[in-house]
Structure 1
Amino acid sequence: MEPSDASAPDALQLTALAMTNYGHFTTMRVEGRRVRGLSLHLERLRRDCGVVFGTELDPDQVRARIHDALAGAPDPVTVRVTVFDPGLRLERLGPVAHPQILVTSRPAAAEPPPLRVRTAPHCREVPAVKHTGLFGALHERRRSQSAGFDDALFTDGRSAVSEGPTWNVGFFDGTRLVWPAADVLPGVTMALLQRHHTGAQHTERIGVADLAGMEAAFATNSAFGIRPIASINEVTYDADHAVLRELRKVYESISPEPL
């Protein structure tokens, strides 16, 4: 693929994103021109480009676009890389795609407080792809916040938990980390913890009824790393549990990769 420079989107490109909204992306925290899990972000973009557009993505082009976007940006910064094709139309998505790369940035947020979430039945479309079709997920986030919570935690049709709108979820049952066995986005931060945490880990179906048996819960996302979950519905957790401090140390010990 030979992507055009979409670092300064014009009206046609913005119209494509607004009207068609067909594409995929990844978001990363950049500090000192380095990113934890950069190779995983690039692999995600390459993999998802094949699924969404049926074409190859050059990771060197992605790096070049990020470097261009970082000129004059604060440090640290949160960078989003979006891959889309402004030439595709809502009624004609079948032609050969010519995706473009759009890199946007915003100042990295300070460490957020623990989350208070409620469960909501929802499954993102094509959950293994980090795509731009976020309406359903963000609608559940809005509904949860309107009800006094910070966010939503999705459940499937059998009341098993899966993921948040923009984050993965993990638990500690007193002995080991437990990850949901569900259709979820394979998050970069989750993958890094699974690789580098040396304690016991397990993947299993976690029903809503099982939540009360967990000692700690946490969200993972590349923008904030590891965020404690203080409560899910009426179940409360220790937001300063020792295992959460341990996971933060593990995550912070992972060497960031240079762009």
Structure 2
Amino acid sequence: MPNETSLYPAALNGRPASAADLIPLAFAGFAHFTAIQVRDRKIRGLDLHLKRLSNASLAFFGRALRDEQLRAHIRQAIDAGPADQSLAVTVFSPDGEFTADSMQGDLAVLARSGPPSNGPKGPLRLAVIEHERPHPTIKHVGESSKTYYLHQAIRAGFDDAAFIDRQGHLSEASIWNLVFWDGETVIWPRAEMLTGTMMGTVQRQLERLGVPQRREEVTLSRLKDLSAAAVMNSWTPGIAVSAIGSTAIPEAKAFLDLLHRAHAAEPAKAV
């Protein structure tokens, strides 16, 4: 019977990754990645994942791999694992960090698969924590604060953490995008944050469905006027949020159904 390691392999630049390959990455912090849910060997929003990897590589390294190269690594990883899986594609410099050498030379790609996930059931209660992630528009590794504040939230009796910036605007949650509903319009926070690939697919499908959307600076005082809130990431297009800090938020099934319907409208394609 295959063990989990063989069932969910890791590949470095298209070949099986050895322990020697992975040891230097164990404590690496200068890298970026994208997280993908694979179902029936197909994914949604491939263009958004490729754009994320390209833009982050240009920001971090001043250069990027061609989309064809990234697609080949993603396709190979999907073919090597089960039909349903979680896939993380990480781009880094093999010359390491804390050195100018990472400014030149080839980039490396680590593709690592694991069991598929649909996220927690919810609803979630989110503690409010003032925090602004470094390089917030890039999905990068080594962010200890996200787990640190998750632990702090749980110790305070919550399920997870929502971040608020120094201007008092809600931005995102620990590993989630936040989204709100006023009964008619989907509201996305206006703040420095990561634009998730799930967020991108939901936004464009809501547009195609004719659902109104807007970006807004969401403060804690604004929450009492809203009809619903949810979090989303690569796992799921929507999990209900029942409280942010001391403010209780109604659960609106119609809002969650809308988010899931928008996600389902995004075509799932083979790479």
TM-score, length of structure 2 as denominator length: 0.87
Q: 1:75 to 1:150 in 2, by over 3 A?
A: farther
Measured after TM superposition, the shift of residue 30 of structure 1 is 0.7
Q: How does 1:146-165 map to 2 (within 5 A)?
A: 146-165=155-174
In structure 1, C-alpha distance between the alignment counterparts of 2:254 and 2:91, rounded to whole Å: 39
* Alignment check: 8 A CA contact 2:38 2:78 kept: no
Kindly report the root-mean-square deviation, in angstroms, between the aligned alpha carbons of the 2 structures. Answer: 2.1
Q: Does 1:186 align with 2:198?
A: no
Q: Does 1:82 align with 2:90?
A: yes
Q: Does 1:174 align with 2:183?
A: yes
In structure 1, C-alpha distance between the alignment counterparts of 2:140 and 2:169, rounded to whole Å: 23
* Alignment check: 8 A CA contact 1:29 1:78 kept: yes
The DSSP-based 3-state class of the residue aligned with 1:81 is strand
Q: Which runs of 5+ in 2 are unaligned?
A: 1-11
In structure 2, C-alpha distance between the alignment counterparts of 1:14 and 1:210, rounded to whole Å: 46
Q: 1:168 to 1:179 in 2, by over 3 A?
A: same
CA offsets 1:97-147 (integer angstroms, 9 cap, x no match): 421000111111245212211110111111111111311222111211232
TM-score, length of structure 1 as denominator length: 0.91
* Deviates most, 204-213 or 236-245: 236-245
Measured after TM superposition, the shift of residue 73 of structure 1 is 2.4
* Deviates most, 107-116 or 179-188: 107-116
In structure 2, C-alpha distance between the alignment counterparts of 1:52 and 1:9, rounded to whole Å: 23
In structure 2, C-alpha distance between the alignment counterparts of 1:142 and 1:119, rounded to whole Å: 13
In structure 2, C-alpha distance between the alignment counterparts of 1:78 and 1:38, rounded to whole Å: 14
Q: Does 1:69 align with 2:77?
A: yes
Q: 1:180 to 1:186 in 2, by over 3 A?
A: same
Of 49, 57, 67, 1:59 maps to 67
Q: 1:19 to 1:152 in 2, by over 3 A?
A: same
Aligned to 2:244: 232
In structure 2, C-alpha distance between the alignment counterparts of 1:72 and 1:20, rounded to whole Å: 25
Measured after TM superposition, the shift of residue 12 of structure 1 is 5.3
Q: 1:91 to 1:189 in 2, by over 3 A?
A: same
The DSSP-based 3-state class of the residue aligned with 2:172 is coil
Q: How does 1:105-254 map to 2 (within 5 A)?
A: 105-114=113-122, 115-197=124-206, 198-254=210-266
The DSSP-based 3-state class of the residue aligned with 1:141 is helix
Q: Does 1:257 align with 2:266?
A: no
Aligned to 2:51: 43
* Alignment check: 8 A CA contact 1:7 1:103 kept: no
CA offsets 1:179-213 (integer angstroms, 9 cap, x no match): 11100111111112221212211111111111121
Q: Which runs of 5+ in 1 are unaligned?
A: none
Letter in 1 for 2:166: G
